[in-house]
Amino acid sequence: MLLNSNQISSYIKESEFSKRAQIGIDLSAAKIERIDVGSVVYKDKTHIDALGYVEVPTMSIDGKDCWRLEKGIYSITFNEGIHVPDDCAAKITYRSSLYRTGTIIESPWWDPGFYCDQMNTTMIVNSIIIIEKNARVAQIAFWRVEEVGETYNGQWQGLNTAYKQ
């Protein structure tokens, strides 16, 4: 069952830029890094070179603190954190304002038991886009899970970035 924003409000560490929507909570952009690295995915661990994440500086556009992003793949860190309860799973997707530009934000499933102080995921930019810092660009939704075999306890537990240093 898909949960509404009132049901999930205690699962999200909201920021002053968050906004509750009908079925989720809007997430706001805190930091954007260009991903210029591959990775190694083994059966039991993933290795990602932290030097391949290059922070994109903001610039003043129309008097606002913004990122100007070229076509490419980015890691987007949100102002918001998460603690997925043991009987739920969550997923992040883009808001319609990004969808209309051809920009895609899509996350893997956030497993029962996972937590971190700041969420992040991958953003694919297909044409030049300008995003104001702290703008709401994504939405997270939660689903109730009937039975969970075990909760998350993997290598990324509690981390605030897309890679482990």
Residues 67-122: tens digit of each pLDDT: 999 999 999 999 999 999 999 999 999 998 888 999 999 898 999 999 999 999 99
The better pLDDT of the pair 163, 70 is held by 70
Residue-wise pLDDT tens digits, 126-156:
999 999 999 999 999 999 988 767 765 665 5
* Mean pLDDT of the 23-42 span: 92
Q: Is 10 helix (H, G, I), strand (E, B) or coil?
A: helix
**What is the rounded distance in angstroms from the CA atom of residue 53 to the CA atom of residue 36?**
6
Could you read off the pLDDT of 35-45 as tens digits, one per residue?
A: 998 888 898 88
Q: What is the pLDDT of residue 154?
A: 61
- pTM (two decimals): 0.87
Count of Cβ atoms closer than 10 Å to residue 110 Cβ: 23
Whether residue 162 has pLDDT greater than 50: no
- Report the C-alpha gap between 143 and 108 in whole angstroms: 14
* Coil/strand/helix, residue 52: helix
